[in-house]
Amino acid sequence: MTHHYVYVLQSLRDGHLYTGYTNNLVQRIRYHAAGKVFSTKHRLPVRLIYYEVCGRESDARAREKYLKDGPGQTVSAKPA
C-alpha cells in the first residue's frame, strides 16, 4: 500500500508556512532543502513542522486543500 503525506514546512528565514502533499516525504523534503521547489527555494532554510499520513491520494489532496484554503488554513508565524 502506498502512503500519501500532507506536510507543513516553516521557513526559518521569514516564518512563512508551506503546505504540500507527496507520496515520498523524505525525498520531497530533500527537494525543498536543496532549493528544487519553486515555492520554497527563496525561503530557505525550511524545517518540517507537521505531517500526517493518508491512505489515499484523494484524501491527502483534500486535507492539503483544507489546510491551505479551508477553516484549517495555516497562518504565518515568526520562528522562535
- Going by their DSSP bridges, the two strands 46-54 and 17-22 should be labelled as unpaired
pTM over 0.95: no
Average pLDDT, the chain: 90
* Closest among 48, 49, 50, 60 to 23, alpha carbons compared: 60
**Is the torsion defined by CA of 22, 24, 27, 29 positive or negative?**
positive
pLDDT digits (tens, 9 = 90+) for 12-46: 999 999 999 999 999 999 999 999 999 999 999 99
- pLDDT number for residue 80: 44
Residue 7, beta-bridge partner list: 20, 51
Distance CA 33, CA 55 (A): 26
Topology (CATH level 3) of domain 4-69: GIY-YIG endonuclease (3.40.1440)
- Residue 72 predicted with pLDDT over 70: no
Q: Is the pLDDT assigned to residue 78 strictly greater than 80? A: no
What is the model's pLDDT at position 35? 97
